[in-house]
Amino acid sequence: MGIRTAQQYFDSLNDGRVVYCLGERVNDVVHHPILSICADWMAVDYALQQDPRYQDLLTEKNDRGERASFVFRPQRNRADLLRLREIVKLWARICFGKPTGAKFVAKDGLNAVTVVTPRVDRKCGTHYAQNVETYRQYMQDNDLSFALAMTDVKGDRGLRPSKQVQHQDFYVRIVEERRDGIVVRGAKAHISQAPLANELLVVPCRGMREDDKAYAVSFAVPANAKGITMISAEPEVKEPGNYFDYPISSSVYINDAMVIFDDVFIPNERVFLKGEWQFAGDIAYMFGNFHRLSAETYKAAELELLTGAAALMAEYNGIEKFTHVQEKLTWLTMLTEATEIMGRAACEHCVTEPDSDLVYPNPMIANIAKLYFSDNWHQATKYVQDIAGGIVATLPSAKDYMNPETRDLMDKYFGGKAGVPTENRLRLVRLIKDMSSAYEDVITLHAEGSPAAQKLAIHALADFDRYKAAAKRAARIHDGTDHPIYSPLPEFPMRLSK
Ligand SMILES: Cc1cc2nc3c(=O)[nH]c(=O)nc-3n(C[C@H](O)[C@H](O)[C@H](O)COP(=O)(O)OP(=O)(O)OC[C@H]3O[C@@H](n4cnc5c(N)ncnc54)[C@H](O)[C@@H]3O)c2cc1C
């Protein structure tokens, strides 16, 4: 088929899927007043692929000479990862910091199962890598959109999947094995854009033990498969189409839905893990490596936007020369640029998977970058709110500004620095309000993994032997241990002045 148009994508969603939003069953997800925001945002992927300005970045010719989306390709070297990054950055810059979602999250899941399934096959004699390859080809040939369903609803977070008390379905599990496939049950939470995706790629969200075997499952399934119900996340936007009051949230609705699997049949050829519990954690971890790179990439674009809003607001308020404001702008610049640099570094220092021609982003750098920007996001919005003032909380709505009876009053009294139209100031205030919402705080903290997940990874990857060798050398501790970097170094101080 080659690459699809936006219209072909929209038409493909009329497939009987079971979606709820704001208390009602939605029969037409494309023309629903709120879900259409998500559909339009996702369709940007397809519009850009058709655009000659971006086609060479976003697509490649396949063996048949047809254009295919680059993001479906396995990542084989540094250049591939850097190109993937440029793609995410383009998507994010176009969509106000939120990369268009047709393939954004699930491409990282596809990369994860691509890297890990050969490990499973080598150890267990399975044939999952071939299933992944066939699936990849299918996705590429039909240019489908997909969502990545990793996060289980989990129940009691202190208990492993098989040890849950209230019921056994807090994590998606295999409830029946048939000759031609498996039947799965359970639910995944916060699955971005699932109600508007063609396919769902399902992976485990944590490491498992042997008694969690039934939960060590990965597969792909069409979003309209029998037994799947999707309940949309409550939309942030209160008035679709009101770009003055909701400049971002009326343009992007990610729809992080709950996806329920009520005895869904998955044919064998779409199964990528079936009980090999030792590899559940590998898939979750590998998804994290790829998805944290995506996170720092789009977040750098979002931080450009936030820092720009702060700098503009400082000018509009006439405070850009005050030291405390310049300090905040400097700090915001550091956060923005460091996030960008670390994302690039995770690609430059990528890791080659042994016995393969595949690479993945440097896990240490990717995890540090995600933790760094998410840990500092609340501080960043605090600074921007500080620069903007209380008006972020109290500004009347666009309806009052558009009302001729109050417009002149608002123009006169909401003015800032001379020469800046009041309307520009008010629009910027709304942008800052949208960007510093509770949704933005939570997505930054938890999406792409909670802080504890990054801390676990960083601690596990830390080269404490190197750090300890440095400390022992400086403290003159000679305990008989050698270190390849520190032991061969010359004595110091050298007393060269004697
Ligand atoms: C906007 C948004 C979009 C998202 N999109 C997707 C998506 O497309 N696909 C997807 O699969 N997921 C998605 N996620 C899910 C995201 O990965 C999770 O929110 C994140 O991993 C945290 O899981 P949780 O929300 O279940 O929080 P919880 O796990 O409930 O976390 C609450 C607290 O409990 C702690 N905790 C939980 N379990 C343990 C444990 N075993 N040991 C120690 N501490 C623990 C956490 O560290 C945290 O402090 C999205 C999330 C958000 C907010």
Distances (CA, A) of 481 to 462, 470, 484: 18, 12, 10
* Residue-level pLDDT at 236: 87
| Residue closest by Cα to atom 47 of ligand 1 | 452
How large is the angle between the packed helices 451-461 and 363-388, nearest 10 degrees? Answer: 140
Tokens 């056994």 label which residue? 168
> CB count, 10 Å around CB of 424?
12
Q: Is 191 in the pocket of ligand 1 (CB under 6 A)?
A: yes
390-437 pLDDT per residue, tens: 999 999 999 999 999 999 999 999 999 999 999 999 999 999 999 999
Q: Is 194 in the pocket of ligand 1 (CB under 6 A)?
A: no
Which stretches does DSSP call E strand in 163-275?
173-178, 181-192, 199-202, 217-222, 228-231, 256-267, 271-274
**217 pLDDT more than 80:** yes
Q: Is 444 in the pocket of ligand 1 (CB under 6 A)?
A: no
* Residue-level pLDDT at 412: 98
Query: Three-state SS for 354?
Result: coil
Residue type, 386: D
**205 pLDDT more than 90:** yes
* Residue-level pLDDT at 374: 97
Nearest CA-CA partner of 291 in 229, 180, 374: 374
Buried b (16+ CB within 10 A) or exposed e, 148-184: bbbbbbbbeeeeebbeeeeebbbbbbbbeeeeebbbb
* Residue-level pLDDT at 77: 97
pTM of the model: 0.96
Max intra-chain CA distance, the chain: 87
Q: From ligand 1's centre to the CA of 344, what distance in Å?
A: 25
- What is the pLDDT of the chain when averaged over all its residues? 97
Task: Point out the ligand 1 atom lying closest to the alpha carbon of residue 157.
Answer: 38
**64 pLDDT more than 90:** no
Nearest CA-CA partner of 204 in 285, 284, 295: 284
Q: Are 186 and 172 in contact (CB under 8 A)?
A: yes
Residue 361, Cβ density class (10 Å: 0-12 exposed, 13-18 middle, ≥19 buried): buried
* Residue-level pLDDT at 312: 98
Query: Three-state SS for 168?
Result: coil
Mean pLDDT of 231-241: 92
Q: From ligand 1's centre to the CA of 265, what distance in Å?
A: 26
* Residue-level pLDDT at 332: 98
Instruction: Between 205 and 239, name the one with better pLDDT.
Output: 205
**206 pLDDT more than 90:** yes
* Residue-level pLDDT at 30: 98
Q: Is 321 in the pocket of ligand 1 (CB under 6 A)?
A: no
Question: Distance between CA 459 and CA 364 in Å, rounded?
Answer: 9
Q: Is 442 in the pocket of ligand 1 (CB under 6 A)?
A: yes
70-80 pLDDT per residue, tens: 999 999 999 99
* Residue-level pLDDT at 1: 76
Element (H, E) at 369: helix 363-388
Q: Are 190 and 33 in contact (CB under 8 A)?
A: no
Mean pLDDT of 350-372: 96
Q: Are 466 and 483 in contact (CB under 8 A)?
A: yes
Mean pLDDT of 134-158: 97
**Probe residue for ligand 1, chosen from 256, 374, 375 as the CB with the greatest number of ligand atoms within 8 Å:** 256
Q: Is 378 in the pocket of ligand 1 (CB under 6 A)?
A: no
Mean pLDDT of 202-229: 98
Q: From ligand 1's centre to the CA of 5, what distance in Å?
A: 34
Residue 336, Cβ density class (10 Å: 0-12 exposed, 13-18 middle, ≥19 buried): buried
pLDDT band at 218 (very low <50, low <70, confident <90, very high): very high
* Residue-level pLDDT at 238: 82
| Residue closest by Cα to atom 3 of ligand 1 | 447
| Residue closest by Cα to atom 45 of ligand 1 | 157
314-350 pLDDT per residue, tens: 999 999 999 999 999 999 999 999 999 999 999 999 9
Domains defined for the chain, CATH in brackets: 6-277 (2.40.110.10), 283-461 (1.20.140.10)
Tokens 């971002």 label which residue? 248
Peptide bond into 490 cis (omega under 30): no
| Residue closest by Cα to atom 19 of ligand 1 | 446
Strands 271-274 and 228-231: unpaired
pLDDT band at 62 (very low <50, low <70, confident <90, very high): confident
Task: Point out the ligand 1 atom lying closest to the alpha carbon of residue 449.
Answer: 21
- Helices and strands (H and E) in the chain: how many: 16, 14
**150 pLDDT more than 80:** yes
| Residue closest by Cα to atom 52 of ligand 1 | 447
Task: Point out the ligand 1 atom lying closest to the alpha carbon of residue 150.
Answer: 11
**63 pLDDT more than 90:** no
DSSP letter for each residue of 135-151: HHHHHHHHT--EEEE--
pLDDT band at 355 (very low <50, low <70, confident <90, very high): confident
Q: Is 159 in the pocket of ligand 1 (CB under 6 A)?
A: no
106-128 pLDDT per residue, tens: 999 999 999 999 999 999 999 99
Q: From ligand 1's centre to the CA of 207, what distance in Å?
A: 14
Mean pLDDT of 265-278: 98
pLDDT band at 387 (very low <50, low <70, confident <90, very high): very high
> CB count, 10 Å around CB of 418?
6
Q: Is 202 in the pocket of ligand 1 (CB under 6 A)?
A: no
